Amino acid sequence: MMRALVRSLLLIGSLLAFAGCEVTSLPDAAVPGEDAGSPDAGMADAGPPDASTDAGTDAGIDAGYVVPNIVIGRSLFWNDAGLLDDASTVSFAKIMGVAADDGHGGALLAQWFHRFNTTPHSERALPAQFIDAVLVAQGADPTQWDLSVLPFKVTGIHNRIDLAKLSPGGHCGELRVSVSSTDVTLQPFHALFLFRQPLEADDVEPGSGRVTCVGTARRWAELSSLDETAAMAQLRVLLARGLTHQRFLMMETVEFTLAPWEWRQWLPAADGGVENPPLFQQLDVERINRASPMRDDFLEWVDQNAAQLDARQVEFPERFRVQSVRVNQGVPRVPLNVPANPSFPMLRQKLEIVGCAACHTTDAEFVQTRTDRSVSAFYEKELAARALHLARFARGEAPGAPFGPLQMNPVLPP
């Protein structure tokens, strides 16, 4: 299975390599369809198609830089056991220690897992019970626990430069580590640790101050041009710089420890633990669907922003979002109830696909990176789009991206 995945990633890689050579005929195809509304979407057309001539003028660094053919398994997504099972580079224990204020992570783990059971909108006992069993096995003081013996495995490292915010004071997206429980009871349980990729000096054009993320993009792209040994060594350098406490943003979870499936985010809180904020870009479908002043407010907001929402360019205000979203297995997800808009026939689906629940269930089976480190159909296509996107960043094109899927014609919810 692993080998099949690696092979298919290599295949995508070589297709992209081909795309890289044929850049004159393909770059616009690489831009997601919904990109049109983005203020910088047109920039791809402005730059000359030959990477070797545009770098100097567009990026302002390394004149003559040639973007290597992006290999997904080198520059965007890592799922090989040699890396993920090497505790000196990454492990559940290490990531918990990095995430926690105390550098250890035991206390954070205890607080986090108990929090699953104490949020009024959702109470899930299993993570808390898991912690109670660790207490019995390892003692009452979580700061003394050996987290390395706990049943979790790292399932992937994900380069999310596509999430870059290309405005002054912006950033170059995220680096993410996914983890899965291998416990017999705490199942299925998947967590994602998000780390910011901050702007570095060479991500901003000197003089104009235009944010391009070209420096960060080239550091990732470069891994595709190195031989295996050199690439792995350089990757470890980038990971050591990237996976730090200072850059840690939050955790996300998708789990089925109790029916139905549930998605949540977990933000570091003042007390050293984590809190469960309203989910990014996830509408509170249940509440919006019921007649209320809030529903009226929502429909008016959708009406006013329909074109931008259809282009997936709008960040949803907190008042329309929900702290946890659930989907029953084997039962169709309840659709968002918005009146048909003849100008934007797929508006409802566009509002849904940017959220956790629809994106994880439309072209995926709840999980994107599985416990065996294989990936969903959705993620496979997403990686191909991210490779083209990374090449554009590395050429200095500063490509825009919509919220939600980057791939050109994502499967939309029914």
Q: Does 380 bind ligand HEC (CB under 6 A)?
A: no
From 184-192, 293-301, 315-323, 339-347, give the range in contact with ligand HEC by CB under 6 A.
Answer: 184-192
* Interface with ligand HEC (CB under 6 A), residue from 310, 379, 390, 398: 379
Q: Does 261 bind ligand HEC (CB under 6 A)?
A: no
CB nearer to ligand HEC: give 280 or 344.
280
Q: What is the DSSP letter of 59?
A: I
Q: Does 373 bind ligand HEC (CB under 6 A)?
A: no
> Phi/psi zone of residue 103: left (φ > 0), alpha (ψ -120 to 50 degrees), beta?
left
Q: Does 75 bind ligand HEC (CB under 6 A)?
A: no
CB nearer to ligand HEC: give 212 or 369.
369
Burial 22-33 (b: 16+ CB within 10 A, else e): ebeeebeebbbe
CB nearer to ligand HEC: give 154 or 231.
154
From 14-22, 93-101, 288-296, 353-361, give the range in contact with ligand HEC by CB under 6 A.
Answer: 353-361
From 36-44, 83-91, 142-150, 279-287, give the range in contact with ligand HEC by CB under 6 A.
Answer: 279-287
245: helix, strand or coil: coil
Contact (Cβ atoms closer than 8 angstroms) between residue 221 and residue 67: yes
* Interface with ligand HEC (CB under 6 A), residue from 158, 321, 381, 392: 158
As a whole number of angstroms, the distance between CA 224 and CA 315 comes to 33
Contact flags string 221-260 toward ligand HEC, x per CB under 6 A: -------------------------------xxx------
Structural Rg of the chain based on CA atoms: 22
From 52-60, 142-150, 200-208, 274-282, give the range in contact with ligand HEC by CB under 6 A.
Answer: 274-282
In angstroms, give the least distance from the CB of 227 to ligand HEC.
26
Contact (Cβ atoms closer than 8 angstroms) between residue 289 and residue 271: no
From 7-15, 86-94, 125-133, 276-284, give the range in contact with ligand HEC by CB under 6 A.
Answer: 276-284
Which residues make Cβ contacts (< 8 Å) with residue 110, sequence separation at least 6? 131, 134, 135, 142
As a whole number of angstroms, the distance between CA 181 and CA 149 comes to 12
Q: Does 322 bind ligand HEC (CB under 6 A)?
A: no
Q: Does 359 bind ligand HEC (CB under 6 A)?
A: yes
As a whole number of angstroms, the distance between CA 218 and CA 137 comes to 47
Contact flags string 189-228 toward ligand HEC, x per CB under 6 A: -xxx------------------------------------
Following DSSP, what letter does each residue of 194-207 receive, concatenated?
Answer: EEEEE--GGGB-TT
Question: For residues 94-133, which are near ligand HEC according to CB under 6 A?
Answer: none
Q: Does 280 bind ligand HEC (CB under 6 A)?
A: yes
Contact (Cβ atoms closer than 8 angstroms) between residue 395 and residue 47: yes
Which helix or strand (DSSP H or E) is residue 254 part of? strand 248-255
CB nearer to ligand HEC: give 263 or 298.
263
Q: Which tokens hold the place of 131?
A: 């912690």
Q: Does 389 bind ligand HEC (CB under 6 A)?
A: no
- Strands annotated E in 161-234: 171-181, 189-198
As a whole number of angstroms, the distance between CA 156 and CA 95 comes to 13
Q: What single-letter amino acid sits at 348? A: R
Positions in the binding site for ligand HEC (CB under 6 A): 158, 160, 176, 178, 190-192, 252-254, 263-265, 279-280, 282, 354-356, 359-360, 367-369, 379, 382, 404-405
